[in-house]
Chain A
């Protein structure tokens, strides 16, 4: 048994690709070994900006000998079959083995030195490596056949036990030598074996283990902040990114001018994080502090003084840009900005953003004046909607598109708009995904809902529907947002009427399509809450139900009911009745009976007489539990009916009357939900 070390050194590997590259390396390597019958459970991988490494422990020194047997024709088969088999295997008749009347070709393969297998595996892994983006380089790139790698490949360390595994790739020959930290130890270092790799590199200022670098940054940044009396704002993504940008991470705290704190904190955090990969800090009262933590890749001789100075300067330049945008934007009333939206095309078929804003304003106003969004002033809803996209033409959002909405909210508040209007502008994109906060302030709900309804209805009406994995206008997300807004706020919105208002035309086939799409999204959204999609179908299939709140209340009651013994049995009885009706093709209605009812028959009639009005009354009151309870009254009489009454009576009058009774049962159940849609 021996350990194998592979290091693929290259010019700086993008941080975001390193984690997946480690997984790919382990996977491809294991697959290559498996081809020769070698297996190991002990593969560890490392990634730094400049190297991708793998250590496989406890590999045997040679692969086992294998004997491969190929089944041939029967000994009784015609000679042509045998000739064909001999040609195929390249053997002679004498070399075949006979067993149970069948020829077998047996090829003995001797075991191979593992080092030899490894020497073939390394180039194969490199060639097959699935980098998300790869490149050619150097003199060899005279041909496009030259090897591709994420950045130029600079070195290969391949050691099996203490011996070099010889191989060559892209003009790089494997060896035992690598380099240390780019600046602390640029010279060559020689690795002895897998067992001293990590330590030797550490001695040369390279921490190969990405998790260790991550911890160093997390701890160092936290301590740096604490030393300044501040608290670090944790950011897991930044930790990973900085670990992927350094081989010897040294977190350093820097400051910026307090005057920049006049800029909204989100802006400061965003520019620090996205542009500079800095952490930000909070003071003890939880406010953003005028400090940041950058992660250097060297242990500077002056303790990082110059590095901090330089980084402070860069951040100051960025923040003064942001401050400039902020102050400039503040001077222009949002209404003036909104006037410029007619220069931006929303979609070639749907006009400009100004057109969209006008539609949203109309719709928001309608949602308020119809009382669909309660306690919402229609005039304010219109005002908020008219301004909600105005920040798209501000300097700040031009620079940082992620801040759309948020900046509009800041500008509106600063320019004296009512607080509710500013809040509606700020949050009208919410909820952005499942798990995002769902607005509850009436004005915000009206604008957000109007924005999303407009998008879904307009794109559908223009024939731009999502299909398969393609949803370029994020309509599925918009639909989920609509469902979340309606349900969270218990809005009693007739969805059908709302979509027609949103399309702005008379109903056509398109509007039912939109309704189906929205119900479909509702199912997806409710799946997480454990609501059965077939029950949603069962209620929706009744038709005319486009009030999501009522629909879902009914679904909840239904789900609780079908979970009870009564519910399950009623469902079974319903299905039996429905099957008989279907088989008999019965379409008749209630018929008068002039024969003496059997007791079970009479009992069912009596139960229906009681249950029908009780359930209808409960549905009208939207007391769906009571409706279910009324249906439950039918369960025992139906069971008894099927046990003791023969539907298919020879007397046609009795038969017809009993079929009609079953139709009545079906009708009564359908008063609550279409049970035929329920699975199981």
Chain B
């Protein structure tokens, strides 16, 4: 049944049974590498979703082809549960694949990756359920689905239509796998902390449980809000500074930083409903400003390489 889908190069000496967390990641790396993707490393900044990685946001702009896959740690301070909830964490991993322009067999490629990590389509029910994606912060939207495996959302599948307020020309396909969810599924575990991280007895809890406890406490109770407000101000000011110097990439980094500090302030509960919109608007303007600067900086080169192309 799955024979028509591309299969991964199987690493030698794979242990029997479901893939460990790290082997699942390595398998996805192998798979997407074999299908022409650059395998990037996580971006070294805190961000709320893999889409914020410049390899997605900025590279979705402009006509140059771009195929990349990477793991991105995501920080969502308000989702922290002090390590007490089996499914909710303030720090977790997304696996991102971005393919520009979107290939015509993107769904088949994606299904091939599921087959590679061990999902058997003769026993499991895979569905593409409408779910349009929108990020007001990035001025971005796209159409696509959440992919269900036996009723569980395992991937967000999006065709970007706009980024930073600009039409995507061409459109990029973005796959965002929820790695912990997939692993829970493959390993048939109920708690993320019980996942086998490797094949030598180290669990996800061994690596991250204490981290969740301490970070939840800091996010919700300890973080000094005055210093956070100050950080927000500094990041936004620095972003403006970069924009004036026509440096879109550093400007974008400062926008990401401001966004994360805002999320921390939210977790500390010190931003009122009324102020919330204003803060979000500020971050959105910075991110869009960075995208605009990126477009401007690259326009000449793009037009030279793609005659007739215009933003």
Contacts and interface: CB of A to CB of B under 8 A. Distances in A.
B167 A138 contact: no
B123 A302 contact: yes
Given A11-B107, A142-B169, A276-B151, A186 B4 contact: yes
Contacts of B308: 143
Contacts of A226: none
Contact of A310 (B63, B152, B171): B152
Interface stretch (B33-41, B96-104, B281-289): B96-104
Given A301-B122, A343-B273, A186 B1 contact: yes
B210 interface: no
A69 B309 CA distance: 47
Contact of A307 (B150, B161, B185): B150
B239 interface: no
A300 B169 contact: no
Interface in B115-154: 121-130, 132, 142-145, 149-152
Contacts of A630: none
B159 to A, nearest CB: 5
A150 B104 CA distance: 15
B127 to A, nearest CB: 6
B168 interface: yes
B124 A137 contact: no
Interface string B153-180: 0000001010000011111010000000
A343 B274 CA distance: 9
A271 to B, nearest CB: 12
**Which of A15, A301, A305, A314 counts the most B-chain CB atoms under 10 A from its CB?**
A314
**Which of B125, B145, B159, B272 counts the most A-chain CB atoms under 10 A from its CB?**
B125
Contact of B150 (A16, A49, A314): A314
Nearest to B128: A12
B123 A135 contact: no
B153 to A, nearest CB: 9
A345 B272 CA distance: 10
A134 B168 CA distance: 14
Interface string A325-349: 0000000000000000001110000
Interface in A341-359: 343-345
B130 A14 contact: yes
Nearest to B142: A135
B171 A141 contact: yes
A144 interface: yes
A345 B273 contact: yes
Contact of B161 (A136, A300, A344): A136
Contacts of B143: 133-135, 150-151
B4 A138 contact: no
Contacts of A15: 130
A317 interface: yes
A245 B128 CA distance: 8
Contacts of A16: 130
B273 A298 contact: no
Given A343-B273, A345-B274, A142 B63 contact: yes
B191 to A, nearest CB: 11
A19 to B, nearest CB: 14
Contacts of A150: 143
B246 to A, nearest CB: 26
Contacts of B87: 317
Contacts of A84: none
Interface residues of B, number: 47
Nearest to B308: A143
A313 B152 contact: yes
B259 to A, nearest CB: 23
Interface in B60-110: 63, 87, 101-104, 106-107
B110 to A, nearest CB: 11
Contacts of B107: 11
Contact of B170 (A141, A152, A182, A305): A141
B122 A133 contact: no
Interface string A263-276: 00000000000001
A587 interface: no
B190 interface: yes
B171 A12 contact: no
A151 B272 CA distance: 39
Contact of A138 (B104, B151, B152): B104
B2 interface: yes
A152 B123 contact: no
Given A143-B169, A183-B122, A152 B274 contact: no
A137 B130 contact: no
Interface in B268-297: 272-274
A344 B273 contact: yes
A306 interface: yes
A246 B125 CA distance: 10
B161 A183 contact: no
A15 B63 CA distance: 33
Contacts of B127: 245-246, 297
A135 B161 contact: yes
Given A143-B169, A297-B127, A183 B149 contact: no
Interface string A124-141: 000000000111111111
Contact of B125 (A139, A298, A315): A298
A307 B128 contact: no
A310 B185 contact: yes
A187 interface: yes
A142 B168 CA distance: 8
Nearest to A13: B130
B171 A136 contact: yes
A311 B190 CA distance: 13
Interface in B170-219: 170-171, 173, 185, 190
A173 to B, nearest CB: 13
A459 to B, nearest CB: 20
B63 to A, nearest CB: 6
Contacts of B272: 343
Contact of A142 (B132, B274, B309): B309
A140 B126 CA distance: 29
B171 A307 contact: no
B122 A141 contact: no
Contacts of B169: 141-144
A612 to B, nearest CB: 63
A183 B121 contact: yes
A184 interface: yes
A296 interface: yes
A309 interface: yes
A140 B170 contact: yes
A367 to B, nearest CB: 31
Given A183-B1, A300-B123, A310-B124, A141 B129 contact: no
B141 to A, nearest CB: 10
A142 B306 contact: yes
Interface in A148-178: 150-152, 154, 171
A21 to B, nearest CB: 13
Given A11-B107, A183-B126, A245-B127, A314 B161 contact: no
A311 B130 contact: no
B121 A298 contact: yes
A278 to B, nearest CB: 8
Contacts of B103: 138
A478 interface: no
A171 B122 CA distance: 32
Given A300-B122, A310-B151, A11 B1 contact: no
Interface of B: 1-2, 4-5, 63, 87, 101-104, 106-107, 121-130, 132, 142-145, 149-152, 159, 161, 167-171, 173, 185, 190, 272-274, 306, 308-309
7 contacts: A14-B130, A49-B128, A137-B173, A138-B171, A143-B308, A245-B129, A307-B150
Lowest 8 A-B CB distances belong to which pairs? A310-B150, A14-B130, A12-B128, A311-B151, A141-B170, A141-B171, A296-B125, A314-B151
Given A135-B171, A142-B306, A313-B190, 12 more contacts: A14-B130, A139-B101, A141-B102, A141-B168, A152-B159, A183-B121, A183-B122, A183-B126, A186-B4, A186-B5, A306-B123, A310-B125
